[in-house]
């Protein structure tokens, strides 16, 4: 079993789990026969697979036997580390030129070019200082020193382009099987947007060369942010100016086809690899459809988010196995609910945090709204929501109001409501909704990203209790074993005890059927594989009562997000019944 999915770009030799080969091959064909110079932009949010696609392009166009292009690969993020903006720009230019020069067959010619280019770089350095002084805004004056003026015999840029073109031509003359160079410029969206835009403009002006294809990995949103110093905030009135700048540099924009990604294939492969679901479970087509729908409503199709999801589920699965008394794995836990809540945690952390506080979301009401200081709905909003299936109930309207707290949530309010309804559909029991979510959310809480400077209910207290307990002279390391023996002792002192009376005697939660369940009800639910934290493998798992046999839940949290959990309540109840349970050493 592998415990993690590594978040690294896909290599050319790895399987196409997202089903984008048709797009990849089309780009390869386009580049193979394009006229030059040309610049192609791979557009997509961070983590959408731009570097993975460039890896495939490089292999097919440059690295495999019979490839027609020389590669130049520049990771702009690495070249910009520990450097000022002007130093980063110069470093990137130098990196490109050195990779071309390394292919030059004549060392003497390359040395001469280096001298000329070095002299030009010294002049450019002064312009770089001006760039830094201007806070790297995209200012036409910044590059004036590079381009010279009309009276200049030759600008620095023209001289630099001529030297680079000589290096390109010499490499291609030496290896006539190659028809050009492809430049792969990666991670532009990881550096400061104004610097990224400056790099774009300079690379375009310098490397606008014959037999050269540029492939840039960048998000249009980064360009917009980088141009704010020039055009101001993006509005309907100036949107054309932003677009014109982008179009001036990019001849072919290619948007990563995330909406077409085959999420089913990736999820089945990843969840099988970490063994969150068994192969038999994943062979069920309905399960795959459920997982895909939940992912679509939450994390979407971004590969980075899906990898984080898989890693979180892997850790939760390991924690759950460690929790079980005697080390047994609870085969009947509701893993789909766990999957959905982790998706919620990653995609909608604010809503996830509200579920942690009030897990029975179908009982969200004005009391919750007042506590969170949610704004009231206008009459028009009320009327509009009443006509929408996703918001026609009171709790759904509270959910809508929660979503108005953040712009991202506001845009995804319908998906949030649909996801919560999907969770309720999976649990399929409104009476147990809150208890199932409360029990399940404790596991995913360990991977919840929250600021540590926010108020905590019980500072320093962990959710998991690693203490040992002594009862009737015996020391217990597992809470489930302790609870079962306390219950058996209580039954021995009360002959004729029924399930209803036992539930009343040990009432630790509103719905005691989620703690003590009859064998008949368990068997009925187990047919659908939808019962959390119960197992029945052997006779010893049963507790015999006057009216039925029952099973005891294996999930007894000490705390939940800092608040007392049902195990602490159980200790209080046992104490009131006269049973002495004390923490101790082994």
Strand order of the β-sheet with 549-552 is 516-518, 549-552, 543-544
Domain boundary among 236, 258, 280: 258
Q: How many residues does the chain have?
A: 586
User: Residue 11: inside a domain, yes or no?
Assistant: no
CB atoms within 10 A of CB 46: 14
Q: Are 21 and 257 in contact (CB under 8 A)?
A: no
Do residues 251 and 267 both lie within one domain?
no
- What token pair was written down for 556? 């007894």
In the numeric block, the tokens 């409360």 are attached to 438
User: In this model, does residue 484 exceed pLDDT 90?
Assistant: yes
Q: Assess whether the previous peptide bond of 435 is cis (omega < 30° from 0).
A: no
Q: Are 281 and 291 in contact (CB under 8 A)?
A: no
Residue 24 exposed, middle or buried by CB count within 10 Å (0-12, 13-18, 19+): middle
User: In this model, does residue 265 exceed pLDDT 80?
Assistant: no
DSSP 8-state class, residue 397: H
Do residues 254 and 321 both lie within one domain?
no
Residue-level pLDDT at 485 = 93
Question: What is the domain-level CATH number for residue 41?
Answer: 3.40.50
Do residues 528 and 553 both lie within one domain?
yes
Task: Give the residue with greater pLDDT, 203 vs 487.
Answer: 487
Domain boundary among 231, 258, 285: 258
CA–CA dist 547, 496 (Å, integer): 8
Domain boundary among 194, 224, 258: 258
User: Residue 506: inside a domain, yes or no?
Assistant: yes
Residue-level pLDDT at 505 = 93
Query: Which residue intervals of 1-49 are DSSP H helices?
Result: 21-33
Q: Are 516 and 506 in contact (CB under 8 A)?
A: yes
User: Residue 14: inside a domain, yes or no?
Assistant: no
User: Residue 561: inside a domain, yes or no?
Assistant: yes
Do residues 239 and 270 both lie within one domain?
no
What are the tens digits of pLDDT across the range 282-338?
A: 777 777 778 888 888 888 777 777 777 878 777 877 776 665 544 444 443 478 888
Do residues 537 and 400 both lie within one domain?
no
Domain that holds residue 69: 22-27+36-258
Do residues 223 and 246 both lie within one domain?
yes
Do residues 162 and 271 both lie within one domain?
no
Do residues 118 and 141 both lie within one domain?
yes
Residue-level pLDDT at 327 = 41
User: In this model, does residue 254 exceed pLDDT 70?
Assistant: yes
What are the tens digits of pLDDT across the range 112-153?
A: 888 888 877 777 665 544 443 343 333 444 444 444 444 444
What are the tens digits of pLDDT across the range 66-113?
A: 999 999 998 888 887 777 777 777 888 888 888 988 887 777 778 888
| Average pLDDT score, the chain | 78
User: Residue 460: inside a domain, yes or no?
Assistant: no
Task: Give the residue with greater pLDDT, 4 vs 375.
Answer: 375
Percentage with pLDDT > 90 across the chain: 19
- What token pair was written down for 378? 């206008």
What are the tens digits of pLDDT across the range 385-430?
A: 888 888 889 999 999 999 998 888 988 899 999 999 999 988 888 8
User: Residue 462: inside a domain, yes or no?
Assistant: no
Do residues 268 and 252 both lie within one domain?
no
Report the number of distinct structural domains present in the chain.
Answer: 3
Do residues 234 and 327 both lie within one domain?
no
Residue-level pLDDT at 125 = 60
Kind of pairing, strands 38-43 and 212-217? parallel
Please give the full DSSP string across 335-388, using - where no structure is assigned. Answer: HHHHHHHHHHHHH-HHHHHHHHH---GGG--HHHHHHHTPPPPPHHHHHHHHTS
CA–CA dist 125, 131 (Å, integer): 10
Q: Reduced to 3 states, what is the DSSP secondary structure of residue 405?
A: coil
User: Residue 455: inside a domain, yes or no?
Assistant: no
**Mean pLDDT calculated for residue range 255-261:** 67
Which residues have C-beta within 8 Å of that of residue 145, sequence separation ≥ 6?
Answer: 123, 124, 126, 127, 130, 156
Do residues 91 and 239 both lie within one domain?
yes
User: In this model, does residue 452 exceed pLDDT 70?
Assistant: no
Q: Are 519 and 552 in contact (CB under 8 A)?
A: no
Residue-level pLDDT at 289 = 79
Rounded to two decimals, what is the model's pTM? 0.52
User: Residue 411: inside a domain, yes or no?
Assistant: yes
Confidence of residue 546 (pLDDT cuts 50, 70, 90): very high
What are the tens digits of pLDDT across the range 158-180?
A: 888 888 898 899 999 889 999 99
**Mean pLDDT calculated for residue range 267-275:** 75
Do residues 245 and 343 both lie within one domain?
no
Kind of pairing, strands 474-476 and 468-471? antiparallel
Task: Give the residue with greater pLDDT, 215 vs 17.
Answer: 215
């Amino acid at each position: 079993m592998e415990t993690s999915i590594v978040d690294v770009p896909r290599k050319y030799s790895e399987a196409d789990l997202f089903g984008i080969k048709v797009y990849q091959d089309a780009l390869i064909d386009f580049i193979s026969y394009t006229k030059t110079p040309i610049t192609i932009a791979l557009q997509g949010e961070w983590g959408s697979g731009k570097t993975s696609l460039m890896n495939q392009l490089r292999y097919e166009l440059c690295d495999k036997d019979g490839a027609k292009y020389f590669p130049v690969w520049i990771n702009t993020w690495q070249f910009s580390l520990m450097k000022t903006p002007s130093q980063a720009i110069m470093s990137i230019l130098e990196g490109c030129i050195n990779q071309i020069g390394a292919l030059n067959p004549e060392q003497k010619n390359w040395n001469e070019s280096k001298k000329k280019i070095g002299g030009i770089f010294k002049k450019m350095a002064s312009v770089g200082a001006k760039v830094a002084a201007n806070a790297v805004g995209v200012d036409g004056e910044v590059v004036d020193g590079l381009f010279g003026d009309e009276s200049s015999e030759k600008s620095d840029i023209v001289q630099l382009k001529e030297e680079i073109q000589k290096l390109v031509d010499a490499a291609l003359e030496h290896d006539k099987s190659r028809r050009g160079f492809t430049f792969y410029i990666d991670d532009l969206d990881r550096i400061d947007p104004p610097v990224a835009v400056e790099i774009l403009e300079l690379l375009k002006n310098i490397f606008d060369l014959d037999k050269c294809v540029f492939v840039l990995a960048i998000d249009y949103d980064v360009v917009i942010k980088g141009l704010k110093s020039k055009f101001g905030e993006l509005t309907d009135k100036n949107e054309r100016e932003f677009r014109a700048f982008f179009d001036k540099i990019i001849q072919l924009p290619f948007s990563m086809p995330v909406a077409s990604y085959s999420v089913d294939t990736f999820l089945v492969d990843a969840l099988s690899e970490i063994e969150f679901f068994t192969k038999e479970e994943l062979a069920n087509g309905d399960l795959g459809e459920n997982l895909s729908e939940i992912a679509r409503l939450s994390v979407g199709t971004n590969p980075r988010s899906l990898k984080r999801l898989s890693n979180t589920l892997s850790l939760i699965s390991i924690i759950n196995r460690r929790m079980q008394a005697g080390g047994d794995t609870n085969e009947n836990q509701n893993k789909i609910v766990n999957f959905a809540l982790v998706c919620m945690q990653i995609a909608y952390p604010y809503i996830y945090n509200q579920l942690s506080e009030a897990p029975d979301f179908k009982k969200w009401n004005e009391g919750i709204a007042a506590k969170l200081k949610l704004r009231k709905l206008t009459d028009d909003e009320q009327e509009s929501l009443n006509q929408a299936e996703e918001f026609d109930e009171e709790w759904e309207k509270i959910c809508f109001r929660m979503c108005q707290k953040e712009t991202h949530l506001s845009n995804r309010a319908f998906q949030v409501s649909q996801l919560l309804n999907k969770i309720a559909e999976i649990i399929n029991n409104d009476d147990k909704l809150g208890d199932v979510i409360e029990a399940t959310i404790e596991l995913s809480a360990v991977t919840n990203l929250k600021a540590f400077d926010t108020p905590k209910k019980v500072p320093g207290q962990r959710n998991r209790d690693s203490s040992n307990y002594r009862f009737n002279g015996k020391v217990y390391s597992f809470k489930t074993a302790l609870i079962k023996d306390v219950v058996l002792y209580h039954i021995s002192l009360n002959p004729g005890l029924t399930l209803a009376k036992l539930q009343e005697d040990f009432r630790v939660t509103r719905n005691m059927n989620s703690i003590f369940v009859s064998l008949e009800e368990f068997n009925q639910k187990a047919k659908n594989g939808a019962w959390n934290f119960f197992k029945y493998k052997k006779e010893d798992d049963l507790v015999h009562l006057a009216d039925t046999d029952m099973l005891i839940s294996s999930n007894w949290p000490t705390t939940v997000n800092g608040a007392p959990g049902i195990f602490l309540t159980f200790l209080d109840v046992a104490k009131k019944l006269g049973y002495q349970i004390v923490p101790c050493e082994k």
